[in-house]
């Protein structure tokens, strides 16, 4: 069975109609029909194919991972098979090497070495222990001599440094006060500049075609921050900067995601799978994208950044 047939069978077994499924998932009925007919080209894009099918399977109680695996096979996306290297030759090569070594070494010499091996190991261990004790004792004596000399030198320096400490404390307090005042004034200036930049930000609708809407973003920050959130439903979203996908995923009801775009981004694209359940903020300001055709559930938002 295909992905569409499997999902349709699961829906009918649960006694759900396409209208019921549309109300539960917020996916338009024509997209649900296309999924059941395996007509994935009728969906807005590859991102929505996987997002919609995953939501369909969760709603009708079908095994999600099995359905996604069937989808990959149906679309021809096979998982790479990692070939395991055979290690059968390794034991053979080791045994051959042992036979060669045994053949080259006379049995009598090898037996003598093996018989004295435990004694040799014990002697080596004892020598290492004695050496470690000697080195530790020598270092301890050197440390005691160094400590005695340093204590005498420190006692002489304490008297001269104590007179300097009070004057240094007074000067350091003055420096600290002046530095804190400077930092506070710089922080106030920085926050004032950010507030002015955000107040000047404007988003203007320029054109639209079907479910694609174009805007112009003026006086934006150097690094634009897109905040995505879902309310009263699940939202499927994807954010791209200059043609490269920065983040994509599904947000459950009450969840949010913040995406910081690279500096110098001039083109921003936001794909929205459930407009009524999605809220957007750009650089801390609410973006009311539903003003343009609020009935469009699936939409693509294109923002051109203008200095």
Residue-range domain boundaries for the chain: 3-74, 200-306
What letter does residue 78 receive in the DSSP assignment? P
Place of tokens 């995953």: 54
Beta 299-306 vs 212-218: how paired, if at all? parallel
Tokens of 188: 């106030």
Q: Which of 110-114, 226-230, 300-304 has the lowest average pLDDT?
A: 110-114
Is the full-model pTM beyond 0.75?
no
Distance from CA of residue 11 to its chain's centroid?
A: 35
Tokens of 151: 């204590």
Fold of 3-74: 434 Repressor (Amino-terminal Domain) (1.10.260)
- Centre a 10 Å sphere on the Cβ of residue 69 and count the other Cβ atoms it contains: 14
- The partner residues of 84 in beta bridges, in order of sequence, read none
Q: What is the pLDDT of residue 188?
A: 65
Q: What is the pLDDT of residue 242?
A: 93
- Asked whether the CA dihedral 55, 247, 281, 191 is positive or negative, the reply is positive
User: Phi and psi of 165, rounded to 5°?
Assistant: -65, -45
Q: What is the pLDDT of residue 256?
A: 95
* Tally of residues, the chain: 307
**Long-range interactions of 244-249: CB distance < 8 A, separation 24+:** 248/47
Q: Sort residue 153 into left (φ over 0), alpha (ψ -120 to 50) or beta.
A: alpha
The pLDDT of 220-244, averaged and rounded, is: 88
CATH number at 200-306: 2.60.40
Tokens of 179: 């530095």
Angle between the 3-13 and 46-60 helix axes, to the nearest 10 degrees? 30
Q: What is the pLDDT of residue 294?
A: 86
- Centre a 10 Å sphere on the Cβ of residue 179 and count the other Cβ atoms it contains: 10
CA distance 1 to 38: 11
CA distance 218 to 305: 6
Angle at 223 between CA 222 and CA 228, to 5 degrees: 140
Please tell me the number of Cα atoms within 13 Å of 27 on its side-chain side: 23
Angle at 10 between CA 7 and CA 15, to 5 degrees: 125
The answer to whether residue 141 scores a pLDDT higher than 50 is yes
Q: What is the pLDDT of residue 89?
A: 43
The pLDDT of 295-306, averaged and rounded, is: 89
User: Phi and psi of 100, rounded to 5°?
Assistant: -65, -45
Angle at 225 between CA 219 and CA 228, to 5 degrees: 125
The answer to whether residue 270 scores a pLDDT higher than 80 is yes
Q: What percent of the chain has pLDDT over 70?
A: 69
The answer to whether residue 34 scores a pLDDT higher than 60 is yes
Common-topology check for domains 3-74 and 200-306: no
- The partner residues of 133 in beta bridges, in order of sequence, read none
Please tell me the number of Cα atoms within 13 Å of 261 on its side-chain side: 27
């Amino acid at each position: 069975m295909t992905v569409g047939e499997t999902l349709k069978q699961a829906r009918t077994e649960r006694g759900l109609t396409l209208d019921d499924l549309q109300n539960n998932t917020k996916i338009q009925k024509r997209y649900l029909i296309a999924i059941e007919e395996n007509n994935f080209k009728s969906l807005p894009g590859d991102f929505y194919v996987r997002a919609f099918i995953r939501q369909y399977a969760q709603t009708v109680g079908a095994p999600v991972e099995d359905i996604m695996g069937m989808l990959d096979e149906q679309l021809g996306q096979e998982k790479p098979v990692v070939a395991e290297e055979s290690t059968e030759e390794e034991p053979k090569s080791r045994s051959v090497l042992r036979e060669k070594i045994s053949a080259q070494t006379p049995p009598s010499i090898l037996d003598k070495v093996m018989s004295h091996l435990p004694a040799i190991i014990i002697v080596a261990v004892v020598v290492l222990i004695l050496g470690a004790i000697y080195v530790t004792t020598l270092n301890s004596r050197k440390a005691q001599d160094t400590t005695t000399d340093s204590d005498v030198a420190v006692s002489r320096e304490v008297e001269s440094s104590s007179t300097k400490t009070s004057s240094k404390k007074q000067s350091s307090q003055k420096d600290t006060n002046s530095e804190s005042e400077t930092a506070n004034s710089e922080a106030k200036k920085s926050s004032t500049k950010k507030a002015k930049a955000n107040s000047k930000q404007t988003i203007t609708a320029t054109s639209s075609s079907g479910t694609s809407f174009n805007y112009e973003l003026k006086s934006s920050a150097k690094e634009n921050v897109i905040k995505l959130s879902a309310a009263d439903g699940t939202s499927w979203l994807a954010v791209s900067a200059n043609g490269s996908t920065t983040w994509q995923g599904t947000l459950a009801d009450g969840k949010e995601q913040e995406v910081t775009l690279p500096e110098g981004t001039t083109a921003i694209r936001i794909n929205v799978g459930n407009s009524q359940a999605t809220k957007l903020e750009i650089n801390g300001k609410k973006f009311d994208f539903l003003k343009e055709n609020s009935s469009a559930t699936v939409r693509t938002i294109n923002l051109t950044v203008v200095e």
